[in-house]
């Protein structure tokens, strides 16, 4: 199984420094989409030996406060797409047994897969592994797994949404009734989400973790 991972990271380097070393081990190829001005994100990528895709489109117009869709499309046009593709946020961590589980899961190429998340809102709660809560919604932009040759990705992400929300919803809904959680409810597992949810859709506003 060949898996390519894409994350769009601008001013999220403090999270990426934590998540990237843990996630890249599960991926055959990892791509980070960022801007040439974001020297801290670039340094994290270089330290972790992952490929950087520079985009000038995330803030292409005055209305693009954080157009994640344009960043994703820059990557989708660049990568190989010969197997499976994961779009994931820079503040999430895959389960520790992710590769083992996914290798044994009978993935269907006509489906899109997601995972719910366990949220740690502060650095202190993450370090102590306490004070978390579960958001069981799956299929949204924090983690989307699909086959690189799926006809549903033709045209890529919708670029009409100027912030990071909503475009992921439109994208997953292209699969209609073929949206699935990776693990069944009898053996629930979650990705870890670092920081406060649903706050940085228009760019980074939450306190840094470093």
Q: Indicate the pLDDT class of residue 136, thresholds 50, 70 and 90.
A: confident
What does the alpha-carbon distance between residue 166 and residue 70 come to, in Å, rounded to a whole number?
A: 13
Ranges of each domain in the chain: 3-194
pLDDT tens by residue, 58-108: 999 888 889 999 999 999 999 999 999 999 999 999 999 999 888 888 899
pTM of the model: 0.93
| Coil, strand or helix at 123 | helix
Q: Quote the crossing angle between the two packed helices 13-23 and 39-47, to the nearest 10°.
A: 20
Q: What is the pLDDT of residues 107-131, one digit of tens each?
A: 999 999 999 999 999 999 999 998 8
Residue 177, pLDDT > 80, answer no
187 has a pLDDT exceeding 60: no
Q: Which DSSP category does 207 fall into? A: P
Q: Is residue 49 predicted with pLDDT exceeding 90?
A: yes
Token couple for 29: 């190829």
Residue range 3-194 forms a domain whose CATH class is alpha beta
Query: Which residues neighbour 110 within 8 Å (Cβ) at sequence distance 6 or greater?
Result: 147, 150, 175, 178
DSSP code for 10: S
């Amino acid at each position: 199984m060949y898996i390519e991972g894409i994350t769009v990271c601008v001013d999220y380097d403090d999270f990426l420094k934590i998540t990237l070393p843990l996630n890249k081990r599960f991926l055959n190829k990892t791509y980070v989409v960022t801007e040439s001005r974001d020297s801290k994100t670039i340094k994290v990528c270089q330290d972790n030996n992952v490929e950087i895709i520079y985009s000038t489109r995330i803030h292409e117009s005055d209305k693009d406060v954080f157009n994640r869709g344009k960043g994703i499309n820059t990557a989708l046009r660049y990568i190989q797409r010969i197997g499976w593709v994961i779009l994931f946020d820079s503040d999430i961590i895959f389960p520790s047994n992710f590769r083992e589980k996914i290798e044994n899961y009978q993935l269907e190429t006509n489906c899109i897969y997601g995972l719910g998340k366990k949220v740690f809102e502060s650095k202190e709660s993450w370090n102590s592994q306490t004070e978390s809560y579960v958001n069981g919604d799956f299929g949204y932009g924090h983690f989307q797994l699909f086959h690189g040759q799926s006809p549903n990705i033709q045209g890529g992400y919708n670029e009409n949404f100027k912030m990071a929300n909503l475009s992921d919803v439109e994208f997953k809904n292209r699969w209609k009734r073929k949206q699935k959680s990776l693990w069944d409810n009898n053996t629930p597992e979650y990705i870890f989400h670092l920081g406060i949810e649903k706050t940085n859709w228009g760019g980074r506003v939450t306190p840094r973790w470093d």
